[in-house]
Amino acid sequence: MNPALLAELLEARRGKETVVLATRLGDGAQVLLRPYGEHDGAGSAADGGWPVAEARRALEEDRSFVVETEAGDVFLRAYNPPVRLVLVGAVHIAQPLARLATEAGMDVLVVDPRSAWATPERFPGVHLVHAWPQDAIPGLGPDRRTGVVTLTHDPKVDDPALVAALNTPAFYIGALGSRGTHGKRLARLREEGFGDEALARIHGPVGLDIDARTPAEIAVSILAEVVAESRKPARRERA
């Protein structure tokens, strides 16, 4: 790889751009594709015989693979921006969850209107948003690579967060709370006008069932479920 191209790739990653590094295996020719870019890439790259549509598929499935082209085999390395995880409630469980999710490469945000909870001391290096979730979440613009987890089990914080999340294409929505708590929560959301299909998007009780007890263990179970959900598009493709 040309060092200038490596620098361009690193710059794109730091800027959280969505890019694909295309490498022609026969002669080592390389180009950085921006399949969603308005100005850069698509037109001229397609002219150069680079597989732009396949590059888009690699990004959508968050997978890297070799495709055959008229100019020979091309390896497409998809670089999506990190998965974003929005934690609602700067509670104890949010602390190990923020750490573990960061370690797994995710961008973590903690939303809590109570500034005494969402402090830099409790969440070093984590982006803290001191606002009510109904005000904060729409502004964050959750997309298909964003997960939202409510952790306060206080309906006046969690419910508006879930309502806001259900109105977005977030790939994961989880709500902490027992089966009983979750049942009551679903009943309240139903009164807000959400149907079965919408409510089925909420993972509750949150996380994989690993008999977690401590905050760190519960964080592991939630993170495991978030990872599993994030991989579903690629999994469907392999099946």
* Residues of the shown chain interacting with another protein in the complex, contacts defined by CB under 8 A: 1-3, 6-7, 9-10, 13, 23, 25, 28, 63-66, 75, 77-78, 82, 102, 105, 107, 125
Q: Which is nearer to another protein, 15 or 195 (CB)?
A: 15
Give whichever of 12 and 199 is closer to another protein, judged by the CB atom. Answer: 12
Q: Minimum Å distance from CB 125 to another protein?
A: 7
Amino acid at 55: A
Nearest approach, Cβ of 239 to another protein (angstroms)? 16
Q: Would you state the structure tokens that stand for residue 188, as one six-digit string?
A: 């309240």
The smaller minimum CB distance to another protein, of residues 24 and 153, is found at: 24
Give me the least distance between CB of 75 and another protein, in Å please: 5
**Cβ-contact 19, 31 below 8 angstroms:** no
Alpha-carbon distances of 193 from 65, 91, 126, rounded to whole Å: 43, 29, 34
Closest CA to 87 of 168, 5, 151, 179: 151
- Provide, rounded to whole angstroms, the least separation between the CB of residue 45 and another protein: 19
CB of 11 to another protein, least distance (A): 10
Smallest separation (angstroms) from another protein to the CB of 67: 11
Nearer to another protein, 59 or 222 (CB): 59
Angle between helices 94-103 and 215-230 (to 10 degrees): 40
- Could you tell me the smallest distance in angstroms from the CB atom of residue 104 to another protein? 8
Rounded Cα distance, 149 and 157, in Å: 12
**Complex with another protein: residue 28 or 193, whichever CB lies closer:** 28
Report the distance separating Cα 108 and Cα 58, nearest Å. 24
137: part of which helix (H) or strand (E)? helix 133-140
CB of 62 closer than 8 Å to CB of 10: no
Closer Cβ to another protein, 36 or 75, answer by number: 75
Name which of 100 and 199 has its Cβ closer to another protein: 100
Buried b (16+ CB within 10 A) or exposed e, 154-191: eeebbbbbbbbbbebebbbbbbbbeeebbeebbeebee
Question: Which residues contact residue 195 at a Cβ distance below 8 angstroms, ignoring those fewer than 6 apart?
Answer: none
